[in-house]
Amino acid sequence: MNKANVNKVNDKKNKYYVYFLLFVLFSLFLFMFLFHSTKNILSLRKKIGGTGTKQLNVFGKPLQSCCTHPMTGYRRNGFCETIDTDHGTHTVCALITNIFLQQQQKLGNDLITPNKMNNFPGLKEGDKWCVCALRWKQAKNAGIAPKLFLHSTNKKSLSILNMKLEDLLPYSI
């Protein structure tokens, strides 16, 4: 191979190397931008009192964030919001207890085992979590209902549970 052909090959390799570096830099920039934006959105929600939804809590005020670590809510946005596809109505913000986890597991609702497919981390005692309203009612009827964060519990829970705000107050943290 003569010197001219070697230079052409090297030029071509350098060209692809530059394209590759540009791609890597662009990818890193995009990742940092998206990560920073998500972090800012969560930070902004905390600064304005944890609101970020138009749904209301049981007091008729803007729904507060239940928990972002682990990220809870049917839509995994930290809020006990409900939408049409939320057939379990994850509207009750509860402080998880071991007895509640054990009861739910016995009833076929395993909240302990992580499930990556559903972006579910698995729960442990002390976690705050948006639980299904009727699952909370099962625990209440069994005398083992976890305590509630009412400012983060969706107003729709009242109708689902067929309860009044006054009925939930003894469970409030």
Q: What pLDDT, on a 0 to 100 scale, did the predictor assign at position 80?
A: 97
Residue 141 binned pLDDT confidence (cut-offs 50, 70, 90): very high
Q: What pLDDT, on a 0 to 100 scale, did the predictor assign at position 121?
A: 92
Taken as a whole, the chain contains a residue count of 173
CB atoms < 10 A from the CB of 15, how many? 10
CATH architecture observed for domain 51-173: 2-Layer Sandwich (3.30)
Taking the C-alpha atoms of residue 63 and residue 147, their distance in angstroms, rounded to an integer, is 17
The residue ranges of every structural domain in the chain are: 1-47, 51-173
pLDDT over 70 for what percent of the chain?
A: 71
Taking the C-alpha atoms of residue 50 and residue 166, their distance in angstroms, rounded to an integer, is 24
pTM score, two decimals? 0.70
Q: Tens digits of per-residue pLDDT, 3-35?
A: 655 556 566 666 777 676 666 666 666 666 665
- Computed over every residue of the chain, the mean pLDDT equals 84
